[in-house]
Amino acid sequence: MPKAHCPQCHSRAVRVTLIDGYKFYCSQCGWNRENVRRELSSSVKVSLVLAVLGAIFAVWVRIRNPSVGSMWIPPLLVFSALPMYYALSGVLQERKMRNVPVQPALGKSRATATPEMASSDALSETTTFEEREFPELAALPRPRKLKLTWKGRFYLVFALAVVGLFTVYGLPAFWNEFRNPHNSYGKNLLVILPTVFIYWKAFTFFRNRFRERTLLANGELASGYVSAQRTGTYVPSIEYSFKLAGGKLVTGRYNDASHSLYEGMTVPVFYDPDEPTHSVPLDCSLTRIVKS
């Protein structure tokens, strides 16, 4: 996992483990500290509830089946041990957060600004926020040059292989089974659902890749703000927001292919001016912009 840094003071961010993933906070300036503390508190409560329910289930098994002997112990371990581990981990991490004092980062005031800073501020009044925040991206002519990342190439080959193999081998077998006059409605449904699922997932994958390339090549650039992070076993996702030229706020959610975004980060977002809900944060995309 890549190292995370505070988007405010750029210090090394502290990683906190939760039931459904992880979050970061800064022990220096306090960035995201309260959000993480609330998440930890909620995680501890949920873990304790799950542990209690697991213990009740194990006792119920023991009472209903006195002859099982020590066989009630495995359900207790399965349903209670892991939640208790997360609860204990959450308590220890909360205690660590309380014992580490916050050291607010000192920023430069406008009263102590240097002449170079003043001239820079004056120049910035003639440029947009995106041009100041992402000058290299804002300066690129359209259509921008693109290339797939190694993950994008891998997923593309994998998707083509799955769809191709299923079409050649799986679809004929499913079709023959579906045409069997002795099959019940439920069995036919079990044949149809996997077919629909595979082709729908393939369609959404290729549609998203096509949309990404269109937006990155010709879309408008905006400065986005990561408002939430959802982490888990598989692909994490982020919730983000950005403002249009007229000031309207647009929100979105996208899978984070980079595994490197978290709350508070600023990220370049490319969107369709005619349909702003169609947007993609650059770091989340499986396509990259070639800057030179």
- Tell me what percent of the chain is helix, strand and coil, each rounded to the nearest 5: 55, 20, 25
Residue 129 pLDDT? 59
Last residue of a domain, one of 193, 211, 229: 211
Last residue of a domain, one of 99, 134, 164: 99
Whole-model pTM? 0.62
Contacts within 8 Å (CB) and 24+ apart, 280-284: 280/211, 280/212, 280/215, 280/216, 280/219, 280/254, 281/224, 281/238, 281/240, 281/254, 281/256, 282/137, 282/216, 283/256, 283/257, 283/258, 284/238, 284/254, 284/255, 284/256, 284/257, 284/258
Residue 271 pLDDT? 93
Question: Which is nearest to 59 in space by CA: 44, 45, 80?
Answer: 80
Residue 110 pLDDT? 32
Tokens of 177: 């089974």
Amino acid present at 205: F
Residue 57 counted as domain residue: yes
Residue 259 pLDDT? 73
Residues 163 and 184 in one domain: yes
Tell me the average confidence (pLDDT) per consecutive run of 10 residues in the chain, 292 residues long: 63 76 76 79 84 79 68 69 82 79 46 38 50 81 90 89 87 76 69 85 92 93 84 74 85 83 83 91 90 74
Amino acid present at 2: P
Q: How many CB atoms lie within 10 A of CB 253?
A: 12
Residue 188 counted as domain residue: yes
Residue 121 pLDDT? 44
Residue 233 pLDDT? 53
Residues 261 and 283 in one domain: yes
Instruction: Check: CB of residue 213 under 8 Å from CB of residue 199.
Output: no
**CA triple 267-268-274, angle to 5 deg:** 130
Residue 228 counted as domain residue: yes
In the three-class reduction of DSSP (H, G, I as helix; E, B as strand; rest coil), residue 130 is classed as helix
User: What residues make up the domain containing 246?
Assistant: 215-289
Residue 177 counted as domain residue: yes
- Listed in sequence order, the residues at least 6 apart from 3 whose beta carbon sits closer than 8 Å to its beta carbon are 12
- Looking at residue 226, which CATH number applies to its domain? 2.40.50
**Cα–Cα distance measured from residue 151 to residue 161, given in angstroms and rounded to the nearest whole number:** 15
Residues 193 and 219 in one domain: no
- Residue owning tokens 């809900």: 277
Residue 106 counted as domain residue: no
Residues 219 and 198 in one domain: no
Residues 178 and 229 in one domain: no
HSE-CB of 215 using CA atoms within 13 angstroms? 28
**Cα–Cα distance measured from residue 256 to residue 235, given in angstroms and rounded to the nearest whole number:** 7
| Helix pair angle (185-218, 150-165), 10° resolution | 150
Q: Roughly how many angstroms between the first and final C-alpha of the chain, as a whole number?
A: 28
DSSP 259: S
Residue 200 pLDDT? 92
Residue 76 counted as domain residue: yes
In the three-class reduction of DSSP (H, G, I as helix; E, B as strand; rest coil), residue 16 is classed as strand
